[in-house]
Amino acid sequence: MDENRGHKKKGNRLLGKFLRVFLLAFTVLVLIVAIGAGVYILLARNSDDKGNKTKDPSDSETVTDKNGEVTKGNDLEKITTFAIFGTDIEGYRTDVVMLLFFNKETKKINIISIPRDTMVSIPDDLYESILTKRSDMNKTIKVNEIPAYVEKDERNESSVKVLESMLGYDIDYYMNLNLDGFKTIVDLVGPIEVNIPFDMVYSDPIQDLYINLKAGVQEINGAQAEELIRYRKGYNNGDLGRIDMQHEFMKAFVKKLLSVENKMNIVNIAAAVLVNLETNFDSAINYVNYIDDVSPENITIDVLPGEAQMLDRSYYVYDYEATKLLLNNIVNGTLELVDPETLVDAKTLSISVQNGAGISGLARSFKEKLLGEGYKVTEATDYTSSDVVTTKLLVPTEAVGDELATYFDNPVIEVDKTL
């Protein structure tokens, strides 16, 4: 009996990740384009709870990251930031944590998915409050554990506070979705037309899972969509193929969501989501005009840069410098997809300064200058064989070259990705 329950839990986890990301992304789209009753439901829900309202993004204020490099105020009113949480039924564990940035000028959406095992440090004031009830509480925990240590009506605000402390960035609104109802929502929006790449047949009575889909272009309902997303075998490139199929389904779903008939039905669709939603997004009515500008092509998703590590227990340790670069890329308004592997912080590199200008001591002078700015210079050498007229920067990425170029006079930047 216990073994069967274990199999069922594992089966639920197989479905979990995609469905949760799907529902969360869908919910944000619905809320952005919500009209009529959907908007008024949101307004009514929050009218009696003024204390839970976060700052409106139009407020004139400046917020910086830990190094003072990410600002938000009047110059960045165009970007609205949402913290999105997906919790278990009891609400004690956050299964999904995401940040969504909506650029009102470019109409683009950028999502950062934060692994639920991400290691975070609880801000001092919140930690002191928790200690009054849990004296054995550690200051360092996983991001998904925050709701378990605070009062029920403080879970969302506390999670937001921890994220703001971790990232050094102000969050405008939160949304917390109870992750039931995937098939219902697909049925409301669909059927969804997809191209199933091959026959998918699988049976597992222990998980109560039965998949039987035929290859080809077809319209699928909610139950079939669940089968498609849960199927894991048969892709030529393994898990990457399954992820690609999920992305294709997401695009098809969003396309159908934004169709004329669903725009007219958006109130009913929004209501189906709002049943399971907690939010302080009481400015939804201000986003109605963006309904015609939201498209699948304008949505990009990144994962918080970092890696899994085994410390006192298993954590996902985020890379602060790479995360800062990713955030800067977003708040500067580019919102292009950024591969975390391409994010290189120049101050973590070993720099060699080689002087061929014929001026003795010039290499040492630049070394000291760069050291003073926080860079790591491992070599400073003067060459006297021939004078070099133009400064050349040999760097691993163009972004690193642009950063270092500010310390030299019209240098030539040469990118060598092997560095």
- Reported as a single tens digit per residue, the pLDDT across 114-170 is 887 899 989 888 988 888 888 888 889 999 888 888 888 899 999 999 999 888 888
Q: Clarify whether residues 285 and 369 are in a common domain.
A: no
Local mean pLDDT, 10-residue blocks, the chain (419 residues): 49 51 51 37 38 38 41 58 75 74 83 85 89 86 89 90 89 76 76 93 82 94 83 70 70 77 69 73 67 69 84 88 88 51 64 72 80 80 66 75 78 72
Q: What is the 3-state secondary structure (H, E, C) of 223-262?
A: HHHHHHHHCCCCCCCCHHHHHHHHHHHHHHHHHHHCCHHH
pLDDT score, position 341: 46
Please give the torsion angle defined by the CA atoms of residues 74, 75, 79 and 82, in that order, rounded to the nearest 10 degrees.
Answer: -50
42 and 146 in a single domain? The answer is yes
Whether residue 280 is found in the same domain as residue 153: yes
- Is 189 within 8 Å of 269 (Cβ atoms)? yes
**Strand pairing report for 192-196 and 216-220:** antiparallel
Q: Which helix (H) or strand (E) holds 66?
A: none
Tell me, yes or no, whether 310 lies in a domain: yes
**Burial environment of residue 45 by CB neighbours within 10 A (0 to 12, 13 to 18, 19 or more):** middle
* Token pair of 212 as six digits: 């039987």
Q: What is the pLDDT of residue 187?
A: 85
Instruction: Determine contact, residues 335/300, Cβ cutoff 8 Å.
Output: yes
- C-alpha–C-alpha distance, residues 364 and 371, integer Å: 10
Residue 261 lies in a domain: no
- pLDDT of 163 reads 93
Tokens of 264: 């007219």
CB 113 within 8 A of CB 300: no
Report the number of distinct structural domains present in the chain: 2
pLDDT given at position 162: 93
H helical segments located in 97-154:
124-131
Asked, for residue 270, whether it belongs to a domain, the answer is: no
Q: Which domain holds residue 353?
A: 346-415
In 115-164, which ranges are E strands? 119-121, 140-142
- Out of 316, 342, 368, pick the residue that ends a domain: 342
Examine the domain organization and report whether 134 and 50 are in the same domain: yes
